[in-house]
Amino acid sequence: MTHTLRAPRRAAVSVVALLCLLTTACGGADDGAAAGSAPSPEAASSAPSPSASGSARPSQPAPAKVFGKDHTEIEVAPGETFALKLRISPSAGYDWEPARPAPDPAVVVRTGERSKADDPDRMGSPGYHFFDYRAEAEGSTRVRLRKDCFACGGEEEKAAKAGRKGPEVVFRITVKE
């Protein structure tokens, strides 16, 4: 009778030992990398995507130069980073989004976006949405940002129902040495 109990016990021990070997050989479930090895480029670049709530961290430090809708003529040098800042009011139901045509990627490239609430402890607090860019090479292009009204019931929503787009802000970017 003991012989019939040993076979299942041996099988169970064998399965556990095999699982231990597999998880050890594959790096385990903790970090997926062998000790002393660098993370893969995919792992290093998988930052959380920005969100309108402001909870996402930018993948890079925030640019030092920030331009609002009162300063739409912008001049920057190649390699320089900058941000475009527009007022948002989530509780009123609007935010901003990039509009077409997209800027010339040979001149500027968007590197991220983020939001910052005036009062982070108050849900729906107004604040600013930042669109981060890097100047690539000399030239000129335009960045169009459109007001996105998702719940306001005002002019923007009426325009969207009529097939028109919401208000836009157009930034004219010149990149030169």
Residue 88: DSSP 8-state? E
Task: Kindly give the confidence (pLDDT) of every residue in the chain, 177 residues in length, as a single tens digit, with 9 standing for 90 and above.
Answer: 555 545 555 555 454 454 444 434 443 333 333 333 333 222 223 333 344 344 344 456 889 899 999 999 999 999 999 999 999 988 887 889 999 999 999 999 999 999 999 999 998 899 999 999 999 999 999 999 998 876 655 555 565 555 556 789 999 999 999
pTM: 0.61
Helix/strand/coil for 125: coil
State how far the Cα of 49 lies from the Cα of 40, in Å rounded to an integer.
19
State how far the Cα of 66 lies from the Cα of 87, in Å rounded to an integer.
13
Q: Which of 112, 103, 104, 86 is nearest to 143 (CA)?
A: 103
Enter the tokens of residue 12.
């169970």
Asked if residue 63 lies in contact with residue 132, where contact means CB atoms within 8 angstroms, the answer is yes
